[in-house]
Structure 1
């Protein structure tokens, strides 16, 4: 493979590679568009065919409910980004908004659209093909590891190819990219989009794809200058219909949000499918299929009453489908509404003349001309893209004589609609989601909003003010850092750099001199909320290479020039996970704050009122030992179909739990902060809180077993122990402590003080089993041991280490040194026990049972997922097999400044 890659690099220059990728994108997008079209038509034919066997009033609603429910379930479960049209999502992604576009989104969008449209929902497949093409192109860019700028070009090309293949209109696809999606358009982007659109259109046509409009070669397409005023009337009515349609579509979204609050997406789309089926069953048989309907409106000989009925029914069914956020677009419905409007004007005037309602004989060329003009007018009014409307309809008809009517209709409609309801429906949809994409200076928006909290490194290596110079030199030798913040009792008092040491006067070169004598005491600092502009100004003005970030008296991070470059590169790339749907950020609905008097913060997520008291008690002892404050979090989980910012929730039980925590904090004399967040995913909420509140330690309960296949410690716990940058302590309560915790919860209802006293009387973790190893987590576990043994009246520790059974002379130095440390600094009786066994978990459980241990403290495994699967997850095995309280500790992840 490497040989082929080298040969390819020699043969293909960048532009040649771009042409090849554009052709590939066009081909794949065309295949996706044609297959989607044929699948929708097959399902539609099957649905209509059933009405010849069973009653339409029964078949159509039932098929709509089932198909809509399946579509909604698929989208909600696997790709929430695939709801709705898809064009706003692509537009946002090209505007540097981190919205997922990948193979997962493309597949789910294809299947969801096929189900929703094929079973009767009145929406279009053109919007979804735009998102499918863009998502496939984005996936190609991920596989080839392209630059962010070139990735954006490929996404634009994929969108153009998707639209071109869907309408058989390559020119319209290119104009769509220029007019709707992009403003800054380099030559390479335009060339790539043109090639992809042409390939997509040609492949679609070659595979038998047909546009929305039937062949007009056998019709006389002519009009006279005298018809221009009437064509302008069609344009004005098209603008009015487009403005009303946009307002009604947004009102439909709000209606579904209010009426189906908290319901799943599957329920919403199923209801839309059922209602659409009922309306469709009332239509004549010839109008129950979307393809026949378009042909009927453009070239059919119909009465004005029929055209009016189609206009009203299609408008209502479009509102019903769109408000449910079913996968489907508005481009095709807007063309159908326009054709019905134009036909209604033409046939209505003809009928008025024949009924002697008009005093003069209007000169009408053909209802087809007015139907096509109406298409262009309503399309322009809804999308506010008049040039694209003209090019699209003209390209699908291939009738040059239609250019002037199309221009009149689309331009007049645009002017009228812009006066009645400014901006396109896609812009309103983005605004509704809180996304505001300004056309000017799109590139500058990549840096807009960056603050110190986004840039800083949170794990900071520091030195003490009383540390001698000799130890500081050793610290510089061990680290790649060129400067260290200096702390005095947890408070930032200075900074020491290599330049400070180099400029040190000879008379101060006493290696025992404390750093407080030589450090830079005037430290330039920033707060987490300071903007990137302020940070750059301070770095340039003071000519420093690093800025400590402080919150109150606490050091919470540090920023270097390298951090700014890294963060900006990530922001340009807009990198997001491609492995699963992206949950929305959580929403803070309740919080309390206590005085920020500690040197750090310990986060305790609370959910179970029966174990909350004891978990808080353990966390409080750790916080007291480290002079930390407690941060208590309750997450209220809602379905992915609901928005955290718009969902009403009942916080009474969570608030009662946090009020108990605050009351206990007063008894323990520890500051307690509380917050309640509405979220889709509790694990992501915990990580958000760690970042926003600058958490120094996470302490959370654990059931001791895995709940998700492929996860070593369960969903929320696994995410925390793998991704949290701060140290993590997991606590699985043993049977003894579970009983104590339940009694505490009952006493809490009577008196918080009695609850605490009951815990102190009944909690008795005397005997501790501590298996040690050479990993980085065990030293941190020993650091927490003094706080944990505060529950013991007569503590006793058993230190053990596992050795290979075939090792006759094991190295016991680590075990002996650790035991001496515990005896000297904790004054606790300590027994060492070397163990010779391959079955680590079973042997540890047997030893805990033999010594009647109350608690086991372990370091979290640092092995990879595959190795853990082969060897077994030791902490989980011990937790499941033992009745003891099991505490698993993971030290902070290493990060470089």
Structure 2
């Protein structure tokens, strides 16, 4: 069945994942080996030229030209390729809009080869991580994988890149899982392991050894008496790591301040020139990374050379890294660690010779201290001790090194974390305004949501044996644009309005079963599938709804309307759906009347002063639309209390409900009431609209809000963004509010006050919200037989020939539905709200009804909300209408 194939494609079978992981490992290894050979060739060429000619005439120009070309390439083609590349990969995996594709991989490869080959004292391992991740991301684009699986492939590409660079598959997997993705699921771990192993094997087969030279002729051993010295290496490495991280960040700030008006190419040219000059002054071993690594790791140097290497590499690294040169920190940190270990070893040997150390202490090879220092400094800079241990151990393949590496790495990490919390990559991202470690990120973002969190569990379904005529009646009685088809509890298809459109085109018989017309190729998701996969399927197949199934059993449905809640939570302080569902409201009182209407209108009651007016307006619409009234009163309690166990006083709430029931008896309409105990009013309103199948939500509104980030207010914002039914907001005008007296209000008083609303203004802006406002207008003007209607539309001052099509269409609708001839006015102004308010004052209007803005909530926060602005600036009664989301958003 198609639904099973879709679920298998979404979950990515292990066989396909293995093939993808192997492909990622192969291309990442080839890229890593190619980058390594390019850097080695360019470095050898640079050394040969410097030996043939004067280094003063060769090295600075090579550094300047190589830096400029590298910076120009990055700046023009892929700005994401600047720096080490690891922060970019972390941000992309954290759902930040950072590009990772073939373009980034190619630019990173070429720019890194140019910068490192020109003498920049950085490493190729960090760039290789970004190259592998970018190639994996490009593969995921070509194969059209889900966002969740795309993240797994990117992490696998990063692991393969690191494994190929160091010939260390275990370290590649640990780094990808611990530093980049923080995910140890079976598929993620398996994909990363396969990609890393394939990458490591291929890199070793065609690229030779990694950073560490052949140590077979060196005896790797140590005594337990040396543990204090190894701990000392860890302490010094932690201090060096803190100094290095702070210096690198300071160097970045220095370049940004001094070269703030200069391009990246100019910054890298300056850094290349400085590097070339320093390379002449410093020891010859600093000319090439390969010679420097071998020289430091073997450890056959005196303390003067070790100090030169340590200080020189530190300065050169700060010069290159601060300019945002393409290159990483892995190799520099390992070289610094090796030099530090050499210093400790030579210092210990001198102390032993001079009798400062115990006579029975036999020092092991300096190589042990060099390798321990490599692991310790790497751990202090990256704050990843397990990765540091795995890298050095895999490169050396010396099991006896495990204890020294663990001692040095853990101690260095503890010291560094105490003095400078967070890795260098975390601080680099924070400097760019990206914080991946917010404690509530998973709760406030849509990242952690699943289909089960947002799906509607009560689903209206049809049977496959239902006739087309019966299906047409079901669509006419519902606002839905599609129904799942279920037989014996199993999902067998879906029927949409698009399918029904074929009836007129192909002249189907009305008694034909809908099984011949329904869509059998159902695209569905499972309850545990992440929201990212839901969004991916909705966008890829351009559909408006997704059934949620367990096997073939239908357990819920997700529409585009449900996704709007995610947008509201990301830009406002509304309650998370997870928290809302975990603490549902508790029904403590209910009255029910006969179900005689064809729909329901919900009125939340809160303020006794305005309750009667809202009820009378809602009742008038219910009469004209043949709706029943559903009245809700929510009693809010603290979150520390449970709604089902908290005693509450119902006297005031029942008085409001009794007034609603009395109004229903007077007008002859069915009125249902309920009182709920809740933590959140907005969540309770949404819960009631779903449970009671509400068609129209009518809410009172103050016309302003003092809550930052809100447009209409916390409760109203949530309702207007998340309720799938029609929504009507009512802000009572100054005249109505001045007539309200506490304790003396009644339905009769409300009717008398509402008769003063006889001059209506309808600003026309087009769209479904304005259309629905016009549909409600006949019921509203029925409150006063002498009502007059003004239609206006605001055009730009430069619009000499405005299009009056919308105004004329609205006027024709009003004339046909009410028999009233509307007055049409065209206004020319830049400020739409001010023009509408001035016109309302000029025409002495009592009420304004208009459609809600269709822009997203974030865009409204920045650019302004026109209905809200009109309500704030007008003393009239303002009614804002938003048509049902399902009618606007679902377009399958």
TM-score, scaled to structure 2? 0.55
Tell me the matched-pair count: 557
**How far, CA to CA, are the matches of 1:219 and 1:246 in structure 2?**
33
Change (3 A) 1:340 1:113: same
Cross-structure match for 2:830: 630
Q: CA deviation at 1:688?
A: 8.9
**How far, CA to CA, are the matches of 1:178 and 1:391 in structure 2?**
13
**How far, CA to CA, are the matches of 2:481 and 2:96 in structure 1?**
40
Cross-structure match for 2:689: 542
Q: CA deviation at 1:260?
A: 1.4
2:599–2:694 contact (8 Å) kept in structure 1: no
Cross-structure match for 2:731: none
**How far, CA to CA, are the matches of 1:179 and 1:433 in structure 2?**
22
Change (3 A) 1:373 1:113: same
Change (3 A) 1:264 1:562: farther
Change (3 A) 1:138 1:629: farther
Cross-structure match for 2:258: 259
**How far, CA to CA, are the matches of 2:480 and 2:684 in structure 1?**
31
Cross-structure match for 1:56: 55
1:18 correspondence with 2:114: no
Cross-structure match for 2:226: 227
Change (3 A) 1:146 1:258: same
Cross-structure match for 1:281: 280
Cross-structure match for 2:798: 618
1:349–1:362 contact (8 Å) kept in structure 2: no
- Residue 331 of structure 2: SS of its match in structure 1? helix
- Residue 798 of structure 2: SS of its match in structure 1? helix
1:325 correspondence with 2:324: yes
**How far, CA to CA, are the matches of 2:825 and 2:12 in structure 1?**
63
Change (3 A) 1:158 1:477: closer
1:334–1:379 contact (8 Å) kept in structure 2: yes
Task: Show CA shifts across 1:91-128 (max 9, x none).
Answer: 22222333221112111111121111111111111111
Q: CA deviation at 1:393?
A: 0.3
Change (3 A) 1:218 1:601: farther
**How far, CA to CA, are the matches of 1:27 and 1:287 in structure 2?**
32
Matches within 5 A, 1:548-563: 559=721
2:600–2:694 contact (8 Å) kept in structure 1: no
1:315 correspondence with 2:314: yes
Cross-structure match for 2:115: 116
- Residue 197 of structure 1: SS of its match in structure 2? helix
**How far, CA to CA, are the matches of 1:54 and 1:691 in structure 2?**
64
Q: CA deviation at 1:669?
A: 11
Cross-structure match for 1:570: none
**How far, CA to CA, are the matches of 1:394 and 1:619 in structure 2?**
74
For structure 1, the 5+ residue unaligned runs are 1-5, 456-472, 485-498, 506-512, 525-532, 564-596, 603-614, 633-661, 672-685, 698-893
1:113–1:125 contact (8 Å) kept in structure 2: yes
Cross-structure match for 2:598: 502
1:372 correspondence with 2:479: no
Matches within 5 A, 1:166-315: 166-315=165-314
Change (3 A) 1:203 1:539: same
Change (3 A) 1:17 1:350: same
**How far, CA to CA, are the matches of 2:681 and 2:134 in structure 1?**
37
Q: CA deviation at 1:301?
A: 2.2
2:26–2:198 contact (8 Å) kept in structure 1: yes
Task: Show CA shifts across 1:300-320 (max 9, x none).
Answer: 521211110111111111111
Task: Show CA shifts across 1:780-818 (max 9, x none).
Answer: xxxxxxxxxxxxxxxxxxxxxxxxxxxxxxxxxxxxxxx
Task: Show CA shifts across 1:612-634 (max 9, x none).
Answer: xxx985279979976586379xx
Q: CA deviation at 1:538?
A: 3.7
1:123–1:333 contact (8 Å) kept in structure 2: yes
- Residue 282 of structure 2: SS of its match in structure 1? coil
Cross-structure match for 2:341: 342
Cross-structure match for 2:141: 142
2:796–2:828 contact (8 Å) kept in structure 1: no
CA RMSD of aligned residues (A): 4.8
Cross-structure match for 2:625: 518
Q: CA deviation at 1:517?
A: 3.9
1:415 correspondence with 2:414: yes
Q: CA deviation at 1:54?
A: 2.5
**How far, CA to CA, are the matches of 1:69 and 1:601 in structure 2?**
54
Cross-structure match for 1:81: 80
Cross-structure match for 1:447: 446
Cross-structure match for 1:693: 863
Q: CA deviation at 1:65?
A: 1.5
**How far, CA to CA, are the matches of 2:93 and 2:828 in structure 1?**
44
2:43–2:288 contact (8 Å) kept in structure 1: yes
**How far, CA to CA, are the matches of 2:170 and 2:307 in structure 1?**
32
- Residue 95 of structure 2: SS of its match in structure 1? coil
Cross-structure match for 2:424: 425
Cross-structure match for 1:161: 160
**How far, CA to CA, are the matches of 1:305 and 1:536 in structure 2?**
70
Q: CA deviation at 1:212?
A: 0.5
Task: Show CA shifts across 1:632-664 (max 9, x none).
Answer: 9xxxxxxxxxxxxxxxxxxxxxxxxxxxxx9x9
- Residue 212 of structure 1: SS of its match in structure 2? coil
Matches within 5 A, 1:33-48: 33-48=32-47
**How far, CA to CA, are the matches of 1:52 and 1:364 in structure 2?**
39
Change (3 A) 1:105 1:22: same
**How far, CA to CA, are the matches of 1:233 and 1:67 in structure 2?**
40
**How far, CA to CA, are the matches of 1:364 and 1:39 in structure 2?**
40
Cross-structure match for 2:665: none
Task: Show CA shifts across 1:178-217 (max 9, x none).
Answer: 3212323111111111111000000001113320000100
**How far, CA to CA, are the matches of 1:189 and 1:483 in structure 2?**
29
Q: CA deviation at 1:559?
A: 4.1
Task: Show CA shifts across 1:573-624 (max 9, x none).
Answer: xxxxxxxxxxxxxxxxxxxxxxxx996999xxxxxxxxxxxx9852799799
- Residue 630 of structure 1: SS of its match in structure 2? coil
Q: CA deviation at 1:171?
A: 1.0
Task: Show CA shifts across 1:368-399 (max 9, x none).
Answer: 11111100110111111111111110110111
**How far, CA to CA, are the matches of 1:558 and 1:534 in structure 2?**
14
- Residue 52 of structure 1: SS of its match in structure 2? helix
Change (3 A) 1:333 1:625: farther
- Residue 438 of structure 1: SS of its match in structure 2? coil
Change (3 A) 1:312 1:599: farther
Task: Show CA shifts across 1:695-736 (max 9, x none).
Answer: 899xxxxxxxxxxxxxxxxxxxxxxxxxxxxxxxxxxxxxxx
2:599–2:695 contact (8 Å) kept in structure 1: no
1:620–1:630 contact (8 Å) kept in structure 2: no
Q: CA deviation at 1:352?
A: 5.2
Cross-structure match for 2:661: none
**How far, CA to CA, are the matches of 2:416 and 2:174 in structure 1?**
21
**How far, CA to CA, are the matches of 1:318 and 1:329 in structure 2?**
10
Q: CA deviation at 1:502?
A: 3.1
1:353–1:361 contact (8 Å) kept in structure 2: no
**How far, CA to CA, are the matches of 1:251 and 1:418 in structure 2?**
19
1:94–1:181 contact (8 Å) kept in structure 2: yes
Task: Show CA shifts across 1:545-591 (max 9, x none).
Answer: 7899999699999646789xxxxxxxxxxxxxxxxxxxxxxxxxxxx
**How far, CA to CA, are the matches of 1:177 and 1:287 in structure 2?**
30
TM-score, scaled to structure 1? 0.55
**How far, CA to CA, are the matches of 2:133 and 2:722 in structure 1?**
36
**How far, CA to CA, are the matches of 1:312 and 1:626 in structure 2?**
76
